[in-house]
Amino acid sequence: MSTTRPIGEAVGNASSVAARGKRDSTLSVAIVGVTGAVGQEFLNVLAQRQFPVGELRLLASARSAGKQVDYNGKTYTVEELTADRFADVDLALFSAGGSISKEYGPIAVQAGAVVVDNSSAFRMVDDVPLIVPEVNAEAIEAAGIGLGIDEKPGIIANPNCSTIIMMVAVTPLHRAAGVKRMVVSTYQAASGAGAAAMQELETQTREVLAGKSGKELTDDIFGLQYAFNLFSHNSPMQDNGYNQEEMKMVHETHKIWGFDASGVDKKDWPAIACTCVRVPVMRAHAESINLEFVKPMDEVLAKSLLKSAPGVSIIDDRANNRFPMPLDASGMDDVFVGRIRNDVSRAWRDGAGHGVELFVCGDQIRKGAALNAVQIAELLV
């Protein structure tokens, strides 16, 4: 069984930029896809965490060029994304879709920038680190990517939002006892499909409450009634009967935990199965996670480990039936964990001690996207 590496801390400060060989204590930052939901959250997180932004370049499609965006008390004009926009950029945060990342990510790197990409374009590329800062920060250093004089520009990938939320909650337990098998069911909010999906959920809800149904409903994003309904995740189906979102969680987990480079036979990798569902929640995903471990693990140990885990908050009040909800996580940095309990199916069969279940909620736009990317950027400085 492969073991994961020591935890990385997502800590950065302006003075360390100069210490590692940068020209000054601030960075030239470009945001690609700034007018989208995640792009807007990039700005919020950068400001809230006082990231050392010097020059700020806001990039988007031609139709968004010219829009005015406020950041830290200053108004910026959105520029059209073109190949020459990355000159003198230190850090480029991308959230504009895979095709844009594939075209412009390498251009930004060639211009000398470190790219943190929020799309799926580079996640499973061998030499691209796939990072959750609380889990595998050291993979960035191993790749030699950074802003210092002895480091190189390159691409760092943000995992899938559901993977990030799951990894923050499960990794402390995996480190202690080794996950043998994991079965995950996700309940994914409209935020995972972007600002247009969030708007469509609001519009449909108003329409249904007004008595509309069927073809009368606005359904441009999913082609289905979303309000007061749920359905299998809308990503493409694969030949094995799982959809693309589900298989992302499987493959990305193995890479983040280092099994793809561990030399461990694949039959000894953690077995992972996922079912991803879209639910009519505006923001923040929820996940039900069933875990089987190599070494002993029970609810008492699991709760103790999670209480001290970075990026985790516990809501686990059995007496009042109070556990994590998407509303708890919305707008918050932490992943919320509750329903921490021994797996009764294992207890029934062979006694408790190796199986635990969790219920997890995390803000998809924040920790599942923008915050994770900015935490990665903080590791670079």
Question: Quick one: pLDDT band at residue 350, thresholds 50, 70, 90?
Answer: low
| Domains of the chain as residue ranges with CATH | 14-159+369-380 (3.40.50.720), 163-364 (3.30.360.10)
Question: Quick one: pLDDT band at residue 263, thresholds 50, 70, 90?
Answer: confident
Residues 6 or more apart in contact with residue 7 via CB below 8 angstroms: 134, 135, 137, 175, 310
Asked if residue 359 lies in contact with residue 339, where contact means CB atoms within 8 angstroms, the answer is yes
Give Cα 8 distance to the centre of its chain. 16
pTM: 0.91
Tell me the pLDDT tens digit for each residue of 214-228. 999 999 999 999 999
Here the tokens at position 29 are 């930052």
Lowest mean pLDDT among 13-27, 154-168, 191-205: 13-27
What per-residue confidence (pLDDT) applies to 14? Answer: 33
Mean pLDDT of 60-64: 95
What per-residue confidence (pLDDT) applies to 25? Answer: 80
Mean pLDDT of 312-326: 98
pLDDT at 4 over 50: no
**φ, ψ (nearest 5 deg) of residue 222:** -105, -15
Beta strands 179-188 and 155-157, pairing class? unpaired
Tell me how far apart the alpha carbons of residues 60 and 76 are, in angstroms, rounded to a whole number.
13
Lowest mean pLDDT among 19-33, 99-113, 233-247, 264-278: 19-33
**Cβ count within 10 A of residue 275:** 15
pLDDT at 269 over 90: yes
Tell me the pLDDT tens digit for each residue of 153-182. 999 999 999 999 999 999 999 999 999 999
Q: Is 161 a catalytic residue?
A: yes
Asked if residue 131 lies in contact with residue 117, where contact means CB atoms within 8 angstroms, the answer is no
The dihedral formed by the CA atoms of 240, 241, 242 and 244, expressed in degrees to the nearest 10: 80
- In order of 127, 263, 380, 381, the CA distances from 377 in angstroms are 18, 29, 5, 7
Give me the residue label for tokens 């070494």.
Answer: 295
Helix locations, the chain, DSSP H: 14-19, 37-48, 98-110, 133-136, 138-143, 161-177, 195-209, 244-256, 299-307, 326-329, 344-350, 371-380
Catalytic residue (one of 174, 233, 285, 354): 285
Give me the residue label for tokens 């792009």.
Answer: 39
% the chain with pLDDT above 70: 92
